[in-house]
Amino acid sequence: MSTTDDNTNDVSPEEAEETTEETPEESSQPDYDSSGDEEECHCSGPGLPILFFIIGFVAMLIFGWFIFPEFLYCKIKQPIDFNHVLHMEEVDKGCESCHFFREDGTFAGVPKNAQCIKCHAEVQGDDPDELEFVEKYISNGVEVPWLSYSRQPDCVFFSHAAHVKLANMDCAECHGPMGESTSLKVYEKNWLSQYSRDIWGKSVLNMLNMKQHTWERMKMYDCAVCHMEKTGRETSVQTAKDGCFVCHK
């Protein structure tokens, strides 16, 4: 304190202002150079901390909403690839050759070797996936451990007959153009919930509420929305009394 007083005595008031202004700058200079030797930080006004807060906050939101959810999914390849287009030319009953309803009205779902063996008892061509299919699975009588993209959690009951037979819906309405694909997409599993990506959908689309097609997501809410749209009712089975057990076991 006393040294500053001495200085002001020696110089004019204008110069004094300059020197006092310079003092914090001069003393802050070494602060940066000596990288944190002193704990004090001389920021210019409250603007900068607020700006840093906003930047940090936005970065956190982007990370939490868009980047982190991507880490929740691990990508798994199907055991072998499968070409729907190629097979639709070979079979004579269309999709039903492999995905059919049993006598009792239940849906067979993912095909078994029984639907393939007629043509693949022996290797037909030189496709490596077919070779693997015949040698590893057909010959050993082992079913292919296909990963089901749309399989719901165990607590959910879903009837294909109610939708395909009674409501006359197209497979593509819920599954997208899977039947017209030449190769199976990578399966994405949420390692927390164990759900397939097709249940909860892409996080970016979810955040921006940009779902455009039924098949982009199939959460409980998505079942409900379609039920309300299709039936024109204000409510869906969800909101009816005891309605939960229509879809839950």
In the window 146-185, what residues touch ligand HEC (CB under 6 A)?
146, 148-153, 155-156, 158-160, 162-164, 167, 169, 171, 173-175, 178-179, 184
Which residue's CB is nearer to ligand HEC, number 8 or number 219?
219
- Name the CA dihedral angle for 179, 205, 162, 186, rounded to a multiple of 10 degrees: 40
> How many Å apart are CA 198 and CA 213, to the nearest integer?
12
SS3 category, 78: coil
Q: In this chain, which stretch among 17-25, 41-49, 62-70, 106-114 interacts with ligand HEC, using CB under 6 A?
A: 106-114
- What would the two tokens of residue 213 be? 């097609």
Query: Using the rule CB under 6 A, which residue among 116, 188, 197, 202 binds ligand HEC?
Result: 116
Question: What are the backbone angles phi and psi of residue 127, rounded to the nearest 5°?
Answer: -75, 125
Measure Cα distances from 82 to 33, 144, 178 in Å: 62, 11, 11
Shortest Cβ 54–ligand HEC spacing (Å): 34
Which residue's CB is nearer to ligand HEC, number 38 or number 135?
135
Which residue's CB is nearer to ligand HEC, number 75 or number 248?
248
Which residue's CB is nearer to ligand HEC, number 35 or number 194?
194
Which residue's CB is nearer to ligand HEC, number 81 or number 216?
81
Scan residues 39-98 and list those touching ligand HEC (CB under 6 A). Answer: 80-84, 86-88, 90-91, 94-95, 97-98
Cross-strand bridge partners of residue 145: none
- Name, in order, each residue with C-beta under 8 angstroms of 107's C-beta and a sequence gap of 6 or more: 99, 100, 101, 159, 160, 161, 164
> How many Å apart are CA 146 and CA 107, to the nearest integer?
16
- What would the two tokens of residue 1 be? 């304190």
Shortest Cβ 194–ligand HEC spacing (Å): 10
Angle at 96 between CA 94 and CA 97, to 5 degrees: 75
Which residue's CB is nearer to ligand HEC, number 44 or number 194?
194
Shortest Cβ 140–ligand HEC spacing (Å): 14
Scan residues 209-248 and list those touching ligand HEC (CB under 6 A). Answer: 214, 218-220, 222-224, 226-227, 230-231, 237-238, 243-244, 246-248
Shortest Cβ 106–ligand HEC spacing (Å): 10
